Amino acid sequence: MGLLVVGSLGLDTVATPFDRVEEALGGSAVYISLAASYFSGPVYLVGVVGEDFPKEYIELLEENHVDLEGLQIIEKGKTFRWSGKYHYDLNVRDTLLTELNVFENFDPIIPEKGRKAKFVCLGNIDPELQMKVLDQMEKPQFVVCDTMNYWIEGKKDTLMKLLKRVNVLIINDSEARLLAKEPNLIKAAKMIRDMGPEMLIIKKGEHGALLFGGDVIFSAPAYPLEMIYDPTGAGDTFAGGFIGYLHKTQDLSPENMKRAVIYGSAMASFCVEKFSTQGFEDLDYLRVQDRYREFLNLSRFDEK
């Protein structure tokens, strides 16, 4: 057992048409590890913050059994900050500010016990750093990786090397099209899997997600929410729920991968119902089970 999560920790200022929050807990490593720790520990977080990172956020992570031995707190350093504004159509957002701060010189160092972890989730950071993380791992069994347009366009060569070392790549539909240079998602998926990852998950926001693995294609619906409060972190929460469930069950069969995609989707649906991590930081297990069943009802039809 043991899941290593590497990514960003930040303070997010987010405006939606409904409300606004300042310097809320954010960052890919935060969303991933909180969602994953919900299913099973130990979860080892590796990342960096400045001295200004609020103590209550540290406590929140610790209360959720996220192991912070690998969290670097830089003396006199300033935490990564991001600010964004969502439009009336929440599929559209503007980034107002990105301040890398201590994240600019982040050098991920994996603590001894983290190196032995069998499950690894590489949040969306520079592929060179993602590579550096893998170099430190002893014998990872299952590596999940996220990336984004910025690295696909700017660090393609490193990314291509990295992709040969990951089991599952999780990206969104526009990233998949960009990476494969192919508008048809099904064809793009085949091309991306030829680059290395045995499995690929394409996140499609309000349209759900697609899982490609072996001969399996699985289409997961999105949870039908009438009110999306804040989409920030939904993709990372999905990844955290996905790998957290696999880590808990230790079952990498295609059928269990499908369940993991649904659990990831369920966690993401709770995430977007509130600002920051509030939607899933105190989640009752029964509510998650209920939502899983709602996903079943949503997509089930019978043979005929």
Among 75, 76, 88, 139, binds a copy of itself (CB under 8 A): 88
User: How many whole angstroms separate alpha carbon 283 and alpha carbon 265?
Assistant: 15
CB 291 within 8 A of CB 223: yes
Looking from the CA of 259 toward its CB, the CA atoms found within 13 Å total: 16
Determine how β-strand 43-50 pairs with β-strand 66-74: parallel
User: How many whole angstroms separate alpha carbon 196 and alpha carbon 180?
Assistant: 13
Q: Is 107 helix (H, G, I), strand (E, B) or coil?
A: coil
What beta strand segments (E) does the chain contain?
3-6, 10-15, 20-26, 43-50, 66-74, 80-86, 93-99, 119-122, 142-146, 168-172, 199-203, 209-213, 216-220
Based on CB atoms, which residue is closest to a copy of itself, 77 or 279?
279
134-193 residues near a copy of itself, rule: CB under 8 A = 183-187, 190
290 binds a copy of itself (CB under 8 A): no
Among 113, 259, 274, 278, binds a copy of itself (CB under 8 A): 259
255 binds a copy of itself (CB under 8 A): yes
* β-pair partners for 25: 11
Looking from the CA of 97 toward its CB, the CA atoms found within 13 Å total: 14
Shortest CB 115 distance to a copy of itself, Å: 31
Among 55, 76, 139, 300, binds a copy of itself (CB under 8 A): 300
195-254 residues near a copy of itself, rule: CB under 8 A = 204, 206-208, 210, 217-222, 224-228
Shortest CB 217 distance to a copy of itself, Å: 5
286 binds a copy of itself (CB under 8 A): no
Shortest CB 204 distance to a copy of itself, Å: 6
1 binds a copy of itself (CB under 8 A): no
93 binds a copy of itself (CB under 8 A): no
Shortest CB 254 distance to a copy of itself, Å: 10
User: How many whole angstroms separate alpha carbon 108 and alpha carbon 1?
Assistant: 21
Point out which residues bind a copy of itself (CB under 8 A). 88-91, 183-187, 190, 204, 206-208, 210, 217-222, 224-228, 255, 258-259, 261-262, 292-293, 296, 298-304
